[in-house]
């Protein structure tokens, strides 16, 4: 899928966030969750999702694309 150049960084971040989420979930299921994945959550996942919520979702809602947003606009 061709993406607007302004989304390239967010797209790359999203892939890394998904991989990290899976690793955290797998480690938790094995009872081996240590502080390193949680630190990565704070430094990588949390900022990524904050950008999506603060910038991307309002832009979609404001641009008439409420169909792409799960939450209410």
Give the tens place of pLDDT for each residue, 1-56: 677 787 777 777 778 888 888 888 888 898 887 778 778 888 888 888 888 888 88
Q: Are 52 and 61 in contact (CB under 8 A)?
A: no
∠ CA 62-63-68, rounded to 5°: 95
pTM tops 0.75: no
∠ CA 70-12-10, rounded to 5°: 50
């Amino acid at each position: 899928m061709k993406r607007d150049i302004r989304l390239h960084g967010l797209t790359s971040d999203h892939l890394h966030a998904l991989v990290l989420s899976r690793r955290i979930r797998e480690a938790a299921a094995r009872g081996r969750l240590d502080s390193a994945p949680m630190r990565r959550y704070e430094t990588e996942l949390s900022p990524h999702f904050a950008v999506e919520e603060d910038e991307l979702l309002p832009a979609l809602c404001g641009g008439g694309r409420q169909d792409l947003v799960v939450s209410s606009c």
